[in-house]
A = this chain, B = another copy of it.
Amino acid sequence: MAAGGSGEDRLIARLFEPIARHPGALGLKDDAAFLQLPAGHHLVLTKDALVAGVHFFPDDPPASIARKAMRVNLSDLAAKGAEPLGVMLAFAIPPDMDDAALAEFARGIGEDCLLFGAPLLGGDTVRTPGPFTVSITALGSVPIGRMVRRTTARPGQAIVVTGTIGDGALGLALRLDPDRPGFAALDAAGRAYLADRYLHPRPRVGLASTVRAHARAAMDVSDGLVGDLEKMLAASGVGGEIDAGKVPLSPAARAAIQAEPALLATALTGGDDYEILATMGEGDVDAFEAAAIAAGIGASVIGRTAVGAGLVVRGADGAALRFASTSFSHF
């Protein structure tokens, strides 16, 4: 952690030194950390910042904010086929954030560091007159040249997505308006599931080597399946088509959409999925699916890439679906 005043030093010592166990973190007592990269590997770097009131609710539990900040970054690593090496953490503390909240935030960071094998290496703690803000740089590794990109999809590949889509976006919609018909149709367990999927992304860290082995292009779904897939196809210079009926839905999402069909668009375009979206040759699909099932996550073929440009999303009747907006934007 960067040197600061004694208040900062004490805060760091109390809350963060116990979770910075990597030898290269030097107990957060130096101005920098060091790290040895495995031989024959590239470093993979990603950085996501989150702002209270923009990327999370100011009254979210601080440990949940910590988990979201960790996991949106770890999700990017997983989708690139990278194994986590560690994280650099900076956060800006608003005047009304007390020590108990900071302790909970530190607990959330520390638990995820252990859970995902991504040790805290260093960072910075500052004060802000504005909202609580968290910035994490996540570091990972891949064998040299093996980072899976989003620009390398080719025509005629299967479009595959892990886990289930829409749970995070429906969890957010539920939080904003719990009385909508779609959510009234759910039991308490269904509502709790969606709320948790929004609050606690589940980065598919365990699938990193599977992505490397089988995917030809990949990204994580953070801003909505349709919009993110459009981005990946455009970046790769190909077109594609998916079948909305093949998009994997959780039982809770399926029930909500059945009760309120307008929620299908929310699920497909709302974001906060943190699943892995990949393209691959037909010959890789079975192995990818098997590995995803073995990891307790699952994977589904939802369509195919094609020569051309643009994405067509087919509905149940075979007609192309249109969306008011294909992805969520904080901007």
> Chain B residue with minimal CB distance to A146?
B34
Quote the shortest CB–CB distance from A73 to chain B (angstroms).
9
Residue A157 interfacial (CB < 8 Å): no
Q: Is the CB of A129 within 8 A of B2?
A: no
Q: How far is the CA of A89 from the CA of B330 in the complex (A)?
A: 18
For chain A, what secondary structure do more than half of its interface residues adopt (helix, strand, loop), or is it mixed?
Answer: mixed
Interface 9-mer from A48-56, A171-179, A246-254, A310-318: A48-56
Q: Is the CB of B54 within 8 A of A122?
A: no
Chain B residue numbers with a CB within 8 Å of A88 are: 45, 47, 137
Chain B residue numbers with a CB within 8 Å of A21 are: none
Q: Is the CB of B92 within 8 A of A49?
A: yes
Residue A5 interfacial (CB < 8 Å): yes
Chain B residue numbers with a CB within 8 Å of A50 are: 126
Quote the shortest CB–CB distance from A195 to chain B (angstroms).
24
Mark contacts of A16-36 with chain B using CB atoms, 8 A cut-off: 1 yes-contact digit, 0 otherwise. Answer: 000000001010011111111
Interface 9-mer from A101-109, A147-155, A285-293: A147-155
Report 30 cross-chain contacts, Cβ distance below 8 Å, ordered by A residue. Answer: A5-B223, A5-B329, A26-B151, A29-B235, A30-B149, A30-B151, A30-B235, A31-B80, A32-B45, A32-B76, A32-B77, A32-B80, A34-B42, A34-B45, A37-B43, A43-B43, A43-B139, A45-B121, A45-B139, A47-B90, A47-B124, A47-B137, A49-B126, A51-B126, A54-B127, A54-B129, A126-B330, A128-B130, A128-B133, A130-B131
